[in-house]
Structure formats: C-alpha cells, structure tokens
Chains A and B, each alone.
Chain A
Amino acid sequence: MDHLAVLVVIVPLMSAPVCVLLDRSRPAWLTSLVAAWFSFGAAVMLLLRVSAEGPLRYSLGGWEAPWGIEFRIDVLGGYVLLIVTAVAALVMVFARHSVEQEIPHDRIARFYAALLLVFAGLAGITVTGDAFNLFVFLEISSLASYAAISMGRDRRALSASFQYLVMGTIGATFILIGIGMLYMMTGTLNMIDLAARLPEVSDSRTVRAGFAFLTVGIGLKLALFPLHLWLPNAYAYAPSTVTAFLAATATKVAVYALLRFVLEIFGVEFSLHAMPLDRILVFLGLLGILSGSLVAVFQRDLKRMLAYSSVAQIGYMVLGIGLASVTGVTAAILHVFNHALMKGALFLALGAVAYRVGAVTLREFAGMGQRLPWTTAAIVLGGLSLIGVPPTAGFVSKWYLVLGTLEQGLWLVAMLVLFGSLLALIYVWKLVEAAYFKPPPANAAAVAEAPLSMLVPVWTLVAANIYFGLYTDVSVGLASRVAHDLVGGGG
C-alpha cells in the first residue's frame, strides 16, 4: 500500500520505454491505457488514505529525508493527482481512434511514450516532497509535451512547439534559479524543511530574488497573463488528444506548484503580505480573465477559442489565490478541479468533431447540431459550465470566487469576474448558433456520429460537470479543507 505513492508515477514512467520497444500502435495504446487506469486507481486509494490518515511520507530507496528524496502526498497533492490521473484515464480511452487518424502510423508508439512521460511528470510533481525533484518532474513533463505537441497534423505545430519550448525553458530556468537560491540560504531541498527554515532568513535579498524567480517561472508554466503567449498556439496545433490532456492537467499542476511554493513553502505571511504578490495576482488574474475572454470572442478556430478561454480561466484561479482568504483559495482549488472537467469535456468533444470532420473552425461547425448531435450537445453543456450556468460545476466555482471577492469588499473585482462570464456567454453562443442555425456547408459529406470510445469519455466528463454542480461534498469539501490548511484556520 505504501508503495502506491511511488508506483503512481513509476508505472506510467516505465511504460513509456515499453511503448517504444513494442513499437506497434495497438499494444502501445493498450499499455498506456492500462498504465493510466492503474495510476487512477492508485490515486483514488491514495486520496482516500491521506484524507483519512493525514499526509503519507515515502522515502525513495529507503533513504531518509535530508539525504534521499522524499515523496509526500497530502490532501492538496492527492486532490490534484486525482484530477491528473482521472483525465489521463479518460483521455487514453478516447485516444485510440483519434491518434490513429492524426498521427502517422509509424510514430504512434513514440507518441504514446511521449504522452505517458507528460503524464508521469505531472503526476510526479503532485507527489514529490522535494523542491528539486519537482523541477525534474516539471522538465520531464515539459520536454515530453514539446515532443507531443510537435506531432500535430498542421505544420504550424512545429513552430508552436518551438515557441513553447523557448518560453517553457525560460520558465524552467527561472524555477531552477529560484530553487538554487533557496538552497543557498537554507541548505535543504525538502519542502517541509524549506518551509521551516525560510522564515529565519526571509528578510534577505536572496530569498526575495528567489521568490521572484520562482513565481515568474511558475507563471510562465501556468500561462499567467501576460506570460501566456505560448499557450494558444500550442493548444491549437497540438493533436486533439494532447490538447485535451494538457488543457485539463498541465496548467492545473502549475497552479498546484504555485500554491505549494507561495502558500506553503514561503507561507502566506511572506508571500502575500510582506511581498505584494496578492495584489499582483489579483491584478494579473483580472487582466487575464478580461483579455483572454475578449480575444476568445473573436477567434474563428475553435481550439484557439477554447485556448484563450483557458487563459481567462487560469485568471480565475490566480485571482482566487490572490484574495489570500480561505474562500478565495477554496475557489481557486475548486476551479482547478471544475475547469479540468469542463475543458476536458470540451477539448475531447472538439477532438471527436475533428475526427469526423477534419478541422474545427466556426465555418466547419455550421450545422453540426444535425451532423453530430451527441457531440454537439456535449459541447453545449460543457459551454454552459464554462459560462457558469447552474446547475453545472462552473456555477459553483463562480459562486465561491465572487463570495471571496465580496468578503473583502472588492466590488469592482466581483463585477469584472461576472462580466467575464458574460463574455464567455458570447463566445460559447457563437458556437451554438453556428451549430444549430447555419446549414451544413454545401460540400459537407454525410458523417456518422463519433465512435463510442470517444463519446463515452466525453459524456462521462459532461455528466461529471453536472454532478459536481449539484453534489459538492467531495470537490468543495476537499478544496476548503486544503484552503484551511494553507491559509490558516482563522483565515
């Protein structure tokens, strides 16, 4: 049972070379599927255990903490791990047909290997208790994702991937410099030790510089406005499977890293009060919400539209953290969960459309309501969740976020957040109108509804959007528990 903490990462990590060795598409897919579902099962068990018994500590290779690397899973890590593994499990089901169509046949096995590495890296970030190890996992996932993105059908995928590589590497370097500075001052890389020793030295320029490097670096990975420029291209040109997986997980893990460093290692007192990060995050979050939503309104390529919408949604999460209150952080963590559900559903559904129709621009989307009724209906429901219409998960996120802003009397911020929802209404409704009011293009071939292996994951996520809009014991319960731990019971 204890070993699950490490197996949840090791199994997908080791499955990657297995895929390469098998070098055939079907066995590679099967390996990935089994690995993802294994990790998902492990994540469920881990979360159940840590939420009942408290944090789980695991020393790699039996080397105790200051010398060896420690994995440490608490409720926050387990929660994000659950999101990552659940999305991975569903995406792998979806992947089979989509990948066979979008990736050249001889590269499919390597594609799955890359996808598994991304997955293993993201999962690793959430379980590790070591700052440097976190950097390593971040690099594993990032490097693998550059490769995965570049395999997109469109040739522009290459330049998108290169752009992401440049920005991502800068981010990673900043993070590394930041961690180096912390190590210099405290002599430890273990997160708990860091948190314990930092307050003594926090009044030094080195720690402050390290803090700045870390937050900017994470901000790049997070696609925090104005460091988001890599994201729209990367999401738009990546293979459908990769887009869905990254959109639902990669930025979420970056939010996790931000929470871990800013709120736990540096502590609320230092990060959000001594350093003015709270105001910066609120301000940048708002800018991200407004600019991302506005730009999304004018997109004609639907993947790009949703990518800009992601920039806006990241704004909501960052804004919640910037509020520095229990409610605000609850809203942020909750939105990590809910946004994974909605964007996962939407990008997978778009992937299904792409599978049947080819590209997905507004023009091709005309008449989609008749051509692919189930897929389109899923997109409409996912879109409603994105807007925050009750009873969807998006509504619950919005409620807590607005409550958080009103608690602090930030009227203008609350209004702007709601204005962002109305912008979402506009871009989602452009899609709905195209799908249901325009006749299909004249040269459109008759197509069958997407295969069941695609519809099932899509509708599972759609159902989850509605379920977690009504019954929030798990999603809100865990999020508020984590927020209490991070921000402190008093708030």
Chain B
Amino acid sequence: MTGELQLLLILLVPMLGALAVLAASPLPNVREGVSFVIGILLFLLVASLAADLSWDAPPTLVLAEPIQGLQLVLTPEPLGVLFALIASLLWPITTIYAMGYMRDHHEVNQTRFFTAFAVSIGSAMGIAMAGNMLTLFVFYEILSVATYPLVTHRGSVEAKRAGRLYLGLLMATSIGFMLPAMIWTWHLTGTLTFTPGGIFGPEVSSGVLSLLLLLFVLGTGKAALMPFHRWLPAAMVAPTPVSALLHAVAVVKAGVFTVLKVAVYLFGIDTLASIAAADVLMVLAGFTILMASVIALRKDNLKARLAYSTISQLSYIVLGAMLGVAAGAVGAGMHIAMHAFGKITLFFCAGAILVTAHKSRVSELNGIGRRMPWTMAAFAVGAVSMIGAPPVAGFISKWYLLMGSLDASHWFAVGVIVVSTALNTAYFMPIVYAAFFKPEDAPAISGQDDHDHPDHGEASWPMRGALMLTATLAILVFFFPGVPLALVQQMAGL
C-alpha cells in the first residue's frame, strides 16, 4: 500500500465509518461492533503508516485547493504521527467503555453519539496529518462543529448553555484570532506549509512576529489557555466517554498540538527564543497551570476537578513549546502523549463511579475503594501520572519539561512545575486516600436521593476493562517510552 493511499484511508475510514454507524442504527450491537472494528482498523492503518515512513520523503496527499496556491494537503510528520497513534489507539478502547456507559446510563440518541464520535476522530486525524496550517484549520473547525452535538448530547437547558459557550469560545478565538493570523502569514510569506525551522524570513520584524504568535496561540481556543478556558469545564455536561476521549485526548490535544506545530514548524524553535511574546505566553501558561490547579482544589464535583486539572496540564505543553529550546519542545510533545493515558483513565473512572454508584462528588467517595477496587486502583494510577511521579507515564514528560526549563535557564518555568506538582498532589491524593482508607459514609437518608445505590459493586465489564487497559498503558509507557520519544526527538531535530 502506498503512503498516499494510507493517508487517504486514515481520513476516510472514520468518516465512512460514521456512515456505517448511521446505517447500522437499528441494530445496536452491530453499530457498536462497527465502531470498534473501525477503531482497530484505523489504529492499524496509522501504525503501518508510521512503521514504513521515511521522514526525508514523506508521502503527500493533495485533497483540494480552496485558495489559489494554497492546498488542503496531508503530510505526516513525527508529532502528527504521534498524535494520530494516540488518538486512534484510545478510540477503540473508548468505544468499549462507551458501550457499557451509554447502556448502563440509559442514554438516548446513541446513534447520533457514535456517528459524531467517528466524525470527530476523523477530524482529529486530519489535524494530525495536516501538511499546512490551512488544512489544520479546516479540520480544527470541523472538529468544533462535529463535537457540538456530543457536548449538548443531553439536550437539557444546561447542555444548551454549555454548547453555546463551547462553540462560541472556540469559534470566536479561531475566527477572530487564528484566521487573521493565518491570512497575515500567508500575505507575508506566501506559504503556510509546516517546515522544520519555520517559514518566516529575516525580513519579518520581531514585533510582527510577536503579534502573530499571540494571535496564533490565543486563537487556539482548544488549548484552553486562560482566559479562553471556560468552554472546557462547561463541556463536562457531555456523557463521560466524550469527556474522556475528546476532552482528554482528541479536542484538547488538537489544541496544544496546534500550538506546538505553530511553534516548531511555522516559527521554528530558534526564532521563538527571540520573540518577546513567547515569554508573555509562557507567563500566561504558568499562570494558567497554577490558577487552574487552585480552582481544581476547590471543586467538589469530580468531573469539574478533572476538567481544571486538564486545563492545568494543557498549559504544561504550551509552556514547553514557548521555552524556545529543543528540550522544551520534546517535553511538550511527550506530555501530549503521556497526559493522554493518565487523563483518559481518570475520566473513565469518574464515569464508572457515576454510572455504578451514582456519585459525582469528591466528598461522597469515602470508602468507595472497597466496593470498586479495580476502578479506584486505576484512578490511583491516573492520579500518580498527573502528579508526575514514577513509575507512571506523567513522570517522563515532566522530566523532559524540567530539562527544557533548565536548558533555557527559565527559573520561572521550573518554579511553576515544582509548585504545580505540589498542587496536583494536594487535589488528587486525598481522593485516593479517602477511597481506600476512610470508612464508608452511611447511605443518605432515604427519600432524599432516590438515585442512591448503596449496595453497588464494581462497574460493568466494558467500563472496567477499558479503564484498566488505559491504566496499564500508562504504566507501560513509563517503562517503554521508545516510540513516542523517538518521534518527538525527530520533530525537535535532535
């Protein structure tokens, strides 16, 4: 199979899969089976593309030419391959989880759910493989629109309001900032192709570069950099599988992936070091990391706490990208991969607790570890990953981020990472402690909450299987970080 064909299939398989899901609507088992098989197929496609790829002459697939001289084009590069690998690996796992979750939770409109899901993954693949900024932007916008029905899945007033905030913030930033930045870049340089080392020549003044960088990074609303982060906690009204895959992996990672792509392939790591705005953005990222952690500390709703933790973790990646040294970019790239496994596990656990025990608050989780030992063990693994302690994935990326900060002698960044680690511990460890060591609270007074299930056990097998699988993966990549590390170092030119 040629590389071009593989690229085309990577885009088409999830998109056609969405149609297949739609067609299989009357038969839930077939529908979910189709979803799963397509997920596996997609992962195999991405893996086989990655396996026989030469970085010197990557395959290039031109899809269309909407602007004269500017094409929609897919070209794999190391970071994109990494992103595609992760998203396509976690998709089938999420499908298994979603089967259990959606049925146990008696969700309606499941066909719409699985269809939109497939389209979203297809868009994420387009973002990952985009050969230029225009292509990335096109799929970025499709992803925003395709995830809208997922966020508003419940159809309630709250969901509608969340959907407004979600689409409004994402579109306002992308149309208001990213689009003009892109058009201005096109006007200045006549190209938007992702090029190692950047595309701006010496004739572009550093003031203009500063402004462009600000527009690009702030325009990436999906990176949830403050003050454009509000959509993420709002989007938590979505069913948990959506929060898990899209808001721990595909959507938010598409955002920070965009930031990293812009930093490495449009500006170039060396140019970035000389741009004043990079420092401004780094301070903003540092502020976001700490602020979001403090907010997370105060959230009692488990999913809200996870959402703010995500905001904080995403800014690690922005911070790493803005350091302007290769090691920082490596740390950022690694964190895209490493954060995914831990965070998806945590979301899976939160959903399993919600469906099985009907509990959504941190304060209700005392002693739940005895009833749901597997779930809470996985939760502990995810929490350790967020903190960045060995032997879990998060340690690796935090290591490289610290290396990058030290490399660049950015003591601010070092300080932020250290303080944030303490904060992460403060808001995750009490949950683990309470779950395993505190005695269980007496069931609520009857009649007060008729949804209470005091005699619940462990989550159903699809959910349990999925969350244990991702927890295992989070530990495995700690011991075998070879593939992501090789890809990221290739990207940074090391």
Contact = CB atoms under 8 A, between A and B. Distances in A.
Interface of A: 384, 387-391, 395-396, 398-400, 402-403, 406-407, 414-415, 418-419, 421-422, 425, 429, 433, 436-437, 469-473, 476-477, 480
B207 interface: no
A472 B66 CA distance: 5
Given A433-B160, A476-B68, A402 B179 contact: yes
B410 to A, nearest CB: 32
A470 B168 contact: no
Find the residue from A390, A400, A414, A418 having the highest chain B CB count within 10 A: A390
Contact of B67 (A399, A421, A433): A399
A390 B65 contact: no
A476 to B, nearest CB: 6
* The 10 residue pairs across chains A and B that have the minimum distance between CB atoms: A470-B64, A390-B138, A437-B160, A402-B183, A403-B183, A391-B138, A389-B141, A390-B141, A406-B187, A396-B66
Contacts of A387: 171, 175
Contacts of B399: none
A472 B72 contact: no
B33 interface: no
B353 to A, nearest CB: 28
Interface in B154-175: 155, 160, 163-164, 167-168, 171-172, 175
A425 B138 contact: no
Nearest to B156: A437
B66 A469 contact: yes
Given A473-B65, A477-B68, A415 B180 contact: yes
- Chain A contact residues, majority secondary structure: helix
Nearest to A473: B65
Contact of B167 (A402, A419, A429): A429
Given A390-B141, A470-B72, A414 B67 contact: no
A403 B175 contact: no
Contact of A407 (B66, B137, B176, B187): B187
B152 interface: yes
Contacts of B68: 472, 476-477, 480
User: Interface on chain B toward A: helix, strand, loop, or mixed SS?
Assistant: helix
Contacts of A437: 152, 155, 160
Given A390-B137, A476-B68, A470 B63 contact: yes
Contact of B176 (A398, A418, A469, A473): A418
A425 B187 contact: no
Contact of B171 (A402, A425, A480): A425
Nearest to B137: A390
Contacts of A473: 65
A395 B172 contact: no
B142 interface: yes
15 contacts: A387-B171, A390-B137, A396-B66, A406-B187, A407-B187, A414-B183, A415-B176, A415-B180, A418-B175, A422-B175, A429-B167, A470-B66, A471-B66, A472-B65, A473-B65
Given A418-B180, A429-B164, A437-B155, A396 B67 contact: yes
Given A422-B175, A437-B152, A471-B64, A391 B183 contact: no
B200 interface: no
B66 A422 contact: no
A477 B65 CA distance: 11
A415 B181 CA distance: 11
A6 B7 CA distance: 50
Interface string B90-111: 0000000000000000000000
A434 B168 CA distance: 16
Contacts of B167: 425, 429
B145 A389 contact: yes
A269 to B, nearest CB: 25
Contacts of A402: 179-180, 183
Interface residues of B, number: 29
Contacts of B168: 425
A400 B67 CA distance: 8
B184 interface: yes
B66 A403 contact: no
A397 to B, nearest CB: 11
Nearest to B157: A437
A437 B153 CA distance: 10
Interface string B343-384: 000000000000000000000000000000000000000000
A438 B456 CA distance: 36
A315 B13 CA distance: 41
Given A390-B66, A476-B67, A476-B68, 5 more contacts: A398-B179, A399-B66, A407-B187, A425-B172, A469-B66
A390 B130 CA distance: 14
Given A472-B67, A476-B67, A422 B176 contact: yes
A480 to B, nearest CB: 7
Interface in B168-199: 168, 171-172, 175-176, 179-180, 183-184, 186-187
Nearest to A476: B68
A421 B180 CA distance: 12
Nearest to A470: B64
B111 to A, nearest CB: 13
A176 B175 CA distance: 43
Nearest to B186: A403
A480 B68 CA distance: 10
A433 B142 CA distance: 18
Contacts of B137: 390
Given A418-B176, A437-B160, A403 B65 contact: no
Contacts of A389: 141, 145, 171
Contacts of A421: 175
Contacts of B172: 422, 425
Max chain B C-beta neighbours (<10 A), residue from A391, A396, A406, A470: A391
Nearest to A403: B183
A473 B64 CA distance: 10
Contacts of A418: 175-176, 179-180
A281 B60 CA distance: 43
Contacts of A471: 64-66
Contacts of B163: 433
B305 to A, nearest CB: 28
Interface in B63-93: 63-68, 72
